[in-house]
Amino acid sequence: MSTAASSAHASAGITVRDVTKVFYRGKEPLTVLDKLNLEVTPGQFVALMGPSGSGKSTLLNLIAGLDRPSQGSVQVGQSSVSNMADSELAKWRSQNVGFIFQTYNLMPVLTALENVELPLLLTKLSGAERKKRAQTALRVVGLEDRSTHYPRQLSGGQEQRVAIARAIVNDPSLIVADEPTGDLDRQSADDILTLLTKLNTDFGKTIVMVTHDPAAAERANVTRRLNKGQLS
Amino acid sequence: MIPLRYNARSLVRRRTTTIAAALGMALVVFVLAASLMLSSGIKKTLTQSGRPNVAIVLRKGSDAELASGVEKAHVALVSAREEVARDGSGAPLSVGEVVVVITQEKIDGNGISNLSIRGVPENVYAFRPTVKVTEGRPARPGTDEVVVGKRARGRFKGVDLNKAFELKKNLPVQVVGVFEDDGSSYESEVWGDLETVRRGFGREDGVSSVRVQLTSPEKMDAFKTAIEGDKQLQLEVFPETTYFEKMSEGTSAFVNGLGITIAVFFSIGAMIGALITMYASVAQRRKEIGTLRALGFSRSSILFSFLMESLMLAVAGGVLGVLAALGLGFVKFSMMNFASWAEVTFSFNPTPEILVFAVVFGGIMGVIGGFFPAVRAARVPPIAAMRGA
Amino acid sequence: MNIPLLAARNVTRNKLRTVLTTLGVAVTVLTFVLIRTVVAAWYVGVEAASKDRIATRHKVSFIMQVPKNYADTIRQVPGVQAATWAQWFGGKEPNHEGEFFATLAVDPKTTLEVYDELVVPEEQKKAWLENRQGILAGDVIAKKFGWKVGDRVNLVGTIYPGDWQFEVSAIYTAARKSIDRSTVYFHWDYLNESLPEQRRDKVGWIVSRIDDPGKSATIQASIDQTFDARDIQTLSQSERDLNNSFLGMMSAVLGALDIVSVVILIIMGLILGNTIAMGVRERTTEYGVMRALGFSPRHIATFVLGEAFTLGIAGGAVGLAIAYPFVNQGVGLAIEENMGAFFPYFRILPDTAIAAMVMALVLALVAAVIPAWQASRLRTIDALRQVG
């Protein structure tokens, strides 16, 4: 992460413009997001809150380039995410987005270090270089001594920290987190939030986090609430 | 008890793996049933024409008609024994026949093969009442006319109704009829006039074998002792049933051995397939099983339920396999009979015993394959109901 | 760590299932190898048949004889280097009634010329040539009957009635697979002299050795041509065709074995496909995560195929590891010893082993195609949604 400060795309701004997302349940259209606008400045830490079904996860998916809007545009840094083809999106995600999931989603057959190294397999880096970077990322989350452990040998909080290391190993300009503390006890949750705050302040990462937890939202610079597909 | 409907629906819901596992079982049962059917078909074909009151007389030491020879004078001597039955005119019920094997070109382009030719006397139809000429007419005695067995016709060049072929060079024969004998091995032969065959093959001095019909099966021992006791004759006597069984032994044991060995190996593979499927099923349904336990179902009822599920899977496969094997009833299978060196055509003979055995075998595979997964299912604690899937 | 390794690592996820699948594939590989070895053993006679030998027999039937002096005529046919003759004796060993083996009455001197792959110690060879009642027996059959050089033995004739007295003069082994090691040879003269006048000087078939295997067909034709005008016509076949015509009569069995081989491959494919499909279904979320991380559909497909490939290799290797000792040291030896007349050589051929391995791999990949395609087609967000 020592290179993070000098990186050209250390952080990215986000512009969501007039985005509508319609899902179909059978033939019944269901408008999840309705002409939604959102501006995130580079280096901001934004919390998205709202009741179930308010569309916050859908918005997160659109920003992260996992899905495309039915109408409107999503711009992340210099990239127009809503206009990219699937394969372009995949490449873009691998270089620009770090993911943190509620259920950590580590590969059970890989060690902590190998899990962190996983996204780097998509780069042209040498094996030694990949290992070095993965170790660096594990150090950032304070788990360098757990590098040979398998996920089942780690606690929930530790697993989530490995997942965070995985999210930052490719030095993304944007980190998206979907309920990162949802499965954790208070103490572990606080550790994770501290870590996210550090990534935001020390490394200047733009972070978008979906959460139910007011304590988590407090750590963000800005909290936006969604209700019935609209920001309030 | 947990209703079987629950298991049936579980199988249907996971239909891809169910079908894969059941197909594996079906193939095993198919192979097993097919080999047993063929082996039974071979036995039936080779032994069914044997009658307990008919004795076959061969030269001592010769295993089969093909290697045997009985002198002309001895034919009369054997037929004149008091144990031999007589027809209305007082003539003994006996036939002396010459059996040879000729090389004939096959129609399917598979080169040449061996065809059995039997030189038969005039009274052959009286002696073997089950043999019926169903097309054309019987051959006239003392001519170069022949009749062909239903299963030999159409397999060799010229060996078909109203066609002609050469027994040997300059000895053409005309096929004037086709005979049937309820699927016996005679149907794979060509029957010609005794004298014609004798002349053609240098057997003027005698015949290959003599068959006599005894007044009753109980006379067999007396007849055997009398003939074999005469050291001048150097002949051996077998009840026709025993002789045919001996003829079929090698071939049917061969098919049986090969088929059963293969089926056993196959079944290990299929059982492993069932094991994988059932283990996966248990793993996926931990929550369901936990719920059943929480509702008060006992471990043993869970065990039984999963065993039943595996059994259903296997029996479904087994029935499918048996049905496919039944389809083989239309297939004719020609191979060399080890005892006569000639090709004989067999068919697959489905007996109820074989079909039931094959399905039961499949069921046993299912129970064995399902046992360990069922034990694992029975060990799922009720608390699993509360945890995630 | 790299992508193929990552794919292979997935087989450790459900160890029990991987072990079972490997065993399942191994058993099917073993069965496949066994069946193909049976088929191959049948063809060994054809494959190994000498290309430079021609057998000539009565045109009408193998049970009819040709005059012995035909051998002299055949020796005059251009291209023929040597000729010998033989008569099927059909002997039985009184202590081993059920045992099938070939007993041939032959002309010793010319037989050793024509069948130059018969390996006989010089001393024993001399003894056999000189002893009119001498037997030359294959080492396999000699071992089974407990015969040693110098033993006096009896054979019972099925075609030539009576008890025949012999002395074991020599025991042979074979330099090539073209001859089985279970045959008993003895002097044709000894048989001939004991026959009544009108049955003498006839033989079952004549075998000649030719100078150029390429001219085999021509020479066969000219031999048969030579006898065309005689009372007894002949049918000449290369040793290969002769063995082939025996196979022709077993073609239905061989065909059935071919079908069975296909069936076993289908079972193998079902086992593999079942396991792979289950693995893919259970790992939907993971594939979603990988897609989110930027892995492409092609990567996902590669993971599934890589896992299948690993299973195929493991199953194939374990199967062959079991098959080799099982067949070559177990069943094969037993078959060669007990059914040597039919299967003189019952071993796994390299081709069979390679075919089994290739089939395991190909089937693993084929079985993985649909699951791989399905996994790669998953929409990332749908796959992630399965989290719970």
pLDDT digit string, tens, across residues C87-114: 988 888 888 877 778 899 999 999 999 9
Residues in chain A: 232
Question: What gap in Å lies between CA C110 and CA C352, rounded to an integer?
Answer: 37
B333–C252: do the CB atoms touch at under 8 Å?
A: yes
Of all residues in chain A, the one with the smallest CA distance to C7 is A109
* 3 state SS of C345: coil
pLDDT band at B146 (very low <50, low <70, confident <90, very high): very high
Of all residues in chain A, the one with the smallest CA distance to C9 is A109
- Cβ burial of A204 (10 Å; 0-12, 13-18, 19+) is middle
* Each residue's pLDDT tens digit, B9-46: 888 877 877 888 888 889 888 988 888 888 888 888 88
For the residues A7-35, what does the mean pLDDT come to? 83
C264–B266: do the CB atoms touch at under 8 Å?
A: yes
Long-range contacts of B251-256 (CB under 8 A, 24+ apart): B251/B42, B251/B46, B251/B335, B251/B337, B251/B338, B251/B339, B252/B39, B252/B40, B252/B42, B252/B43, B252/B46, B254/B338, B255/B35, B255/B38, B255/B39, B255/B42, B255/C253, B256/B35, B256/B36, B256/B39
C286–A118: do the CB atoms touch at under 8 Å?
A: no
* Each residue's pLDDT tens digit, B254-264: 778 888 888 88
> How many beta-carbon pairs below 8 A join chains A and C?
66
Question: What gap in Å lies between CA C244 and CA C250, rounded to an integer?
Answer: 10
* Each residue's pLDDT tens digit, A165-194: 999 998 999 999 999 998 899 999 999 999
Among B54-58, B328-332, C349-353, the minimum mean pLDDT is found in B328-332
Identify from B167, B265, B282 which residue to disrupt to test chain C contact, counting C C-beta atoms within 10 A and taking the largest count.
Answer: B265
Residue A227 lies in a domain: yes
pLDDT score of A4 more than 70: no
Alpha carbon B237 to its chain's center: 26
CATH value at residue A78 = 3.40.50.300
B28 and B73 assigned to the same domain: no
Q: Quick check: A150 contacting C, CB < 8 Å?
A: no
* 3 state SS of C225: helix
Q: Quick check: C286 contacting A, CB < 8 Å?
A: yes
- In chain B, which residues have their Cβ closer than 8 Å to the Cβ of C251? 110, 335
B201 and B253 assigned to the same domain: no
Of all residues in chain C, the one with the smallest CA distance to B389 is C388
**C233 or B209, which is more confident:** B209
Q: Provide CB contacts within 8 A for C96, sequence distance 6+.
A: C144, C145
R_g of chain A computed on alpha carbons: 17
Residue A197 lies in a domain: yes
Amino acid present at C28 = T
A118–C384: do the CB atoms touch at under 8 Å?
A: no
- In chain A, which residues have their Cβ closer than 8 Å to the Cβ of C380? 66-67
For the residues B249-276, what does the mean pLDDT come to? 81
Residue B236 lies in a domain: no
Cβ atoms of B84 and B212 within 8 Å: the answer is yes
C387–A90: do the CB atoms touch at under 8 Å?
A: no
Alpha carbon B100 to its chain's center: 24
pLDDT score, position B338? 67
Residue A183 lies in a domain: yes
Identify from A58, A101, A125 which residue to disrupt to test chain C contact, counting C C-beta atoms within 10 A and taking the largest count.
Answer: A101
Amino acid present at C235 = L
B24 and B86 assigned to the same domain: no
Q: Which two tokens stand for residue C87?
A: 């008569």
- Which of B215, B230, B259 is the C-terminal boundary of a domain? B215
pLDDT score, position A59? 92
pLDDT score, position B386? 67
| Residues within 8 A of A (CB atoms), C 362-381 only | 380-381
Residue B229 lies in a domain: no
pLDDT score of C55 more than 60: yes
pLDDT band at B388 (very low <50, low <70, confident <90, very high): very low
Q: Containing domain of residue B30, as a range?
A: 4-47+247-386
Residue A162 lies in a domain: no
Residue A65 lies in a domain: yes
Residue A185 lies in a domain: yes
pLDDT band at C333 (very low <50, low <70, confident <90, very high): confident
B202 and B268 assigned to the same domain: no
> Percent of chain C, pLDDT > 70?
97
- In chain A, which residues have their Cβ closer than 8 Å to the Cβ of C6? 110, 118, 121
Q: Quick check: A155 contacting C, CB < 8 Å?
A: no
Cβ atoms of B220 and B214 within 8 Å: the answer is yes
pLDDT score of B389 more than 50: no
Residue B242 lies in a domain: no
ipTM, two decimals, is 0.80
Q: Is C128 left (phi over 0), alpha (psi -120 to 50) or beta?
A: alpha
Q: Containing domain of residue A73, as a range?
A: 3-105+172-231
A90–C2: do the CB atoms touch at under 8 Å?
A: no
Residue B22 lies in a domain: yes
Question: What gap in Å lies between CA B318 and CA B29, rounded to an integer?
Answer: 6
C12–A109: do the CB atoms touch at under 8 Å?
A: yes
- Give me the residue from A61, A90, A105 closest to C295, CB to CB: A90
* Each residue's pLDDT tens digit, A64-113: 988 889 999 999 988 898 888 888 888 898 889 999 988 888 888 889 99
In the block, which residue shows the tokens 């000429």?
B133
* Each residue's pLDDT tens digit, B72-84: 889 999 999 999 9
Q: How many CB atoms neighbour CB C38 within 10 A?
A: 22
- Give me the residue from A103, A109, A118 closest to C293, CB to CB: A118
pLDDT score of C274 more than 50: yes
B31 and B71 assigned to the same domain: no
B208 and B294 assigned to the same domain: no
Residue B223 lies in a domain: no
Question: What gap in Å lies between CA C155 and CA C95, rounded to an integer?
Answer: 10
Q: How many angstroms separate the CA of residue B265 from the nearest CA in chain C?
A: 6
B71 and B201 assigned to the same domain: yes
Number of domains present in the structure of chain B: 2
Q: Which two tokens stand for residue C81?
A: 């280097």
Helix H or strand E encompassing C15? helix C15-48
Of all residues in chain B, the one with the smallest CA distance to C276 is B17
- In chain C, which residues have their Cβ closer than 8 Å to the Cβ of B61? 92, 156-158, 161-162
Q: How many angstroms separate the CA of residue B262 from the nearest CA in chain C?
A: 7
B148 and B196 assigned to the same domain: yes
pLDDT score, position C250? 72
Cβ atoms of A205 and A11 within 8 Å: the answer is yes
How many Cα atoms are found within 13 Å in the side-chain-facing hemisphere of A159? 21
pLDDT band at A8 (very low <50, low <70, confident <90, very high): very low
R_g of chain B computed on alpha carbons: 29
> Percent of chain A, pLDDT > 90?
57
Cβ atoms of B345 and B106 within 8 Å: the answer is no
B332 and B193 assigned to the same domain: no
Number of domains present in the structure of chain A: 1
A93–C293: do the CB atoms touch at under 8 Å?
A: yes
| Alpha-carbon dihedral sign for residues C202, C207, C209, C215 | positive
Residue A136 lies in a domain: no
Residue B237 lies in a domain: no
Residue A49 lies in a domain: yes
pLDDT score, position A3? 39
For the residues B89-116, what does the mean pLDDT come to? 85
Which one, of C235, C246, C341, lies nearest residue B341 by Cα?
C246
Among A137-141, B57-61, C52-56, the minimum mean pLDDT is found in B57-61
Q: Which chains border C (3 or more CB–CB pairs < 8 Å)?
A: A, B
Residue B239 lies in a domain: no
Question: What gap in Å lies between CA A161 and CA A196, rounded to an integer?
Answer: 10
B95 and B198 assigned to the same domain: yes
Among B110-114, B289-293, C112-116, C353-357, the minimum mean pLDDT is found in B110-114
pLDDT score, position C340? 67
C270–B202: do the CB atoms touch at under 8 Å?
A: no
